[in-house]
Chains A and B, each alone.
Chain A
Amino acid sequence: MELEQLWQSILGEMEVQISRANFATWLKNSRLIDKKDGTFYIGLPNNFAKEWIENKYQKNLLGIIRNFDSSAKNLKFVVVSSNPKTATKKDLAQDLMSFENRISLDFKIDPETNLNPRYTLDSFIVGPSNELAYAGASSIVKELGLKYNPFFVYSGVGLGKTHLIQAIGNAVGAQYPGKFRPRYVSSEKFTSDIVWGIRNKRMEDIKKKYRDVDVLIIDDIQFIGGKEKTEEEFFHTFNALYEGNKQIIISSDRPPQAIPTLEERLRSRFGGGLIVDIGYPEYEVRVAIIKSKLQGLNRDLNQVVIELIANRIKKNIRELEGVLNKILFYQERKGVDITEKIAQEIIEKSAQNLSRRVSDAQIIKAVSEFYNISTENILGRSRKKQVVEPRQIVAFLLRDILEMSYPYIGEKLGRDHTTAIHAYDKINQEINKNSSLNQKIILIRDMIYKD
């Protein structure tokens, strides 16, 4: 703001010194970008203006600037082009051309940074489950590379990892335009780049590509585990960036200790910065997400329906958005108001996904394999600590995945229904507080669905 005002007063004086035509052509769209150690950086719309001002007005301009700021020593001119894009015009075009069929070209994603501008910190809805992660992200943007490096975010699927880490990249791009270059890459892309580099003997290009950034954002790092050459290259890249005080941001579906095939030296490096997890969103957060999504789409839904969706879909924001989209689509197509009953039906239909293929025996087997305890022990009478937790998890999963009745679960486990209720409630509360338990359950779920 200060620069802006200063520049306006400088221009004011300049306007008097040169002819109106010259002023309008050469200086009107200029701005003061930065001043540092007596050097003033002036942004001009094109090279013609740059040449002209450099050759003709440099002295006058410097004289005027000195009057305002005696520290000014020299001027540097940079060409910054303005982007004349307007969203409203584009929408208009879409209306005009709606009978035409277009190639779906994605202009949204910037090919240099690979970031999708849809993800911003402002649109990230903060609740107790992701407060820490959000706070970490915000402070990183303020002190890039210095405060928490690396920044490691982990959570289950569809809880906002990608949103958060891309938002950091976007915030960096917005806050320091042209100064810091963020690059977002999925670990799969990273791997395929390395493979490409090895095959085409162009490893140097790849090295340059990744070490030449100021903020490296890698999504789903767990997938590089076990790919030795990729891990090695990542390790070196990591060190190079870390030493240069470049910010590294990593996401994963589990904490570093739990990525089984990851090499020890990488694991220990990940621990060196800040590790945060994003838990399941609370009810209020889910409602807020639905509401903000509706607002973004300029649509409206009955409060009862919103509450219903928030109540039914608890563990995955992506799924939440999917169901919401389905309901909105239905509303648009049929032109009817969505009642609780219709919403219920839609949710039911979309929720009948994986659960049908899973049997109770599979769940018990997965838990017993995970804890390395025999099925008999889990279903037996022992109340040792190492058996109790698996048993409660079995009860929880039977209820959560298969929606079995408590009496039936009780019977399965050789206990009565109150025990089953207690087990379910306990785990259900615990997973929101205890992230290592949550992690275990995610891994067990993986095992169940993998079969």
Chain B
Amino acid sequence: MKVVIVRSNLKEGLGIISGASGENLNLPILKHSLFDVSDNRIKLTTTNLEIAASFLIPGKIIEQGNATIPLGIFQNLINNLQSERLNIEKNKNSIEIKTDNYQALIQGLAPEDFPIIPKISDENKNEFIEIDSGVFKEALSQVVVGTQFSDLRPELNSVFFNFSLENIKLVATDSFRLAEKTIPSSQFKTNHKNTFKLLVPLKTNQELLRILKEGEVLKIYHDLNQILFKTENLEFISRLVDSNFPDYTAVIPKKFDSEIVVNREELVSALKLAGIFGSRFSEIKIRVPEAKKTVEVWSVDETVGENHYFLTAKVQGKAKEANFNWRHLLDGLKAIRGGEVFLGLNSEDNKPALLKTPSDVFYLYILMPILKT
């Protein structure tokens, strides 16, 4: 194997696939990346046996072949090199990197020992969804705020993909809040004839958010156990979570006892300010007075002090006071687009509040209030 690659291209490629490499004491080769030069393309691959990422990088091919290279060391080296043109050549199991004034030899492992990257099964490999990567990335970023890693509820560490012919719904929840994004069929193309539901691990989604670029054509394939995201240069395959997502539609509130519409930016700064005084539990209060044009955001901490922030708002319905975790509220606010935001509250404490852009039907964020102690 012998190639010449421009450093910035290699750096970009390594950055993209690095997220899929893994720590595995049993299998040291997982810390390596596979350098595969065949069919006139240079492909870099890493895997941690849960996900696998492959990326094609441009370069001049002098001789085909493959090799593995320890990713961490390679990345460090590439980041610190000054020269732009790199000659990379395999020498037995070692890799030689040469520039005009620099030379390095890195120990690799036998490429045959690198895990074989699974493929989508034959019966499913022709069915896909085609979507603009920017649209998908935006949708995903709005949804992943609804959950966080938790060892305690592993079934929630995932994003729910619910495909019907009319739309794709993405949903995530950690049971304190829930975010749902609808991508209408006008924004994607597909040749699927049937509906399906998938649970994609949260880690996969976060990795996708990191590596997907905007303005590319993204194709999504899946079979029983895995999902593949494919752009021109990237192939990203992940296992699916074999579990059930709860029927969440019942918990989305339809009616509210009080409804407010406020400027989003203002509410964000009100929350950040209130957060300074937020107690240990990040608790803040939102008070909606009856028939007035202001909403009060206040927080109190015995050891720090308290603050009140008054926002102009359109208020409808009954007077109401509710406590929230301000971080959770802020997560939702940041995911919402547009200058104004709608907040619907209910007087029963076991019913969630709803956050959305007033006229937007494609995104919603619901949040449980903190019980008054």
Which of A's residues lie within 8 Å of B, judged by CB? 20-22, 24-25, 46-52, 55, 79, 81, 83-85, 89-90, 92-93, 99-107, 109-112, 205
Contact = CB atoms under 8 A, between A and B. Distances in A.
Given A46-B50, A81-B225, A103 B352 contact: yes
> By CB atoms of chain B within 10 A, which of A90, A101, A109 has the most?
A101
Chain A to chain B: the 6 pairs with minimum beta-carbon distance, closest first? A47-B118, A105-B246, A93-B152, A81-B242, A51-B116, A101-B368
Q: How large is the interface on B (under 10, 10 to 19, 20 to 34, 35 or more residues)?
A: 35 or more
Contact of A103 (B115, B173, B373): B173
A110 B244 CA distance: 7
B244 A105 contact: no
Contacts of B225: 46-47, 79, 81
Given A105-B246, A105-B251, A111-B247, A100 B152 contact: no
Given A25-B26, A46-B50, A85-B154, A100 B244 contact: no
B251 A46 contact: no
> By CB atoms of chain A within 10 A, which of B239, B325, B373 has the most?
B239
Interface in B132-155: 150-155
Nearest to B113: A22
Given A47-B225, A48-B116, A103-B368, A83 B243 contact: yes
Interface string B344-370: 000001101000000000000010111
B49 interface: yes
B27 interface: yes
A103 B116 contact: no
B267 interface: no
Contacts of B151: 89
Given A46-B239, A47-B225, A112-B244, 15 more contacts: A22-B26, A22-B27, A24-B26, A47-B226, A48-B52, A50-B118, A51-B117, A90-B152, A90-B153, A93-B150, A100-B176, A102-B176, A103-B251, A103-B368, A105-B173
Interface string B36-47: 000000000001
Contact of B224 (A20, A79, A111): A79
Interface string B235-254: 00001011111111001000
Contact of B373 (A99, A112, A205): A99
B117 to A, nearest CB: 7
A303 B60 CA distance: 86
B368 A21 contact: no
Please classify the interface of chain B as helix (H, G, I), strand (E, B), loop, or mixed, using the class held by over half of its residues: loop
B315 interface: no
Interface in B194-249: 194, 224-226, 239, 241-248
Contacts of B154: 84-85
B83 interface: no
Contacts of A93: 150, 152-153
> By CB atoms of chain B within 10 A, which of A47, A104, A105 has the most?
A47
B175 A102 contact: yes
B370 A100 contact: yes
Contacts of A99: 281, 370-371, 373
A105 B175 contact: yes
A205 B193 CA distance: 11
A216 B145 CA distance: 39
B244 A25 contact: no
B261 interface: no
Given A85-B154, A85-B155, A99-B371, A105 B242 contact: no
Contacts of B325: 100
Contact of A55 (B116, B350, B368): B116
A92 B246 contact: no
A102 B323 CA distance: 13
Given A21-B27, A100-B368, A103-B352, A48 B247 contact: no
B24 interface: yes
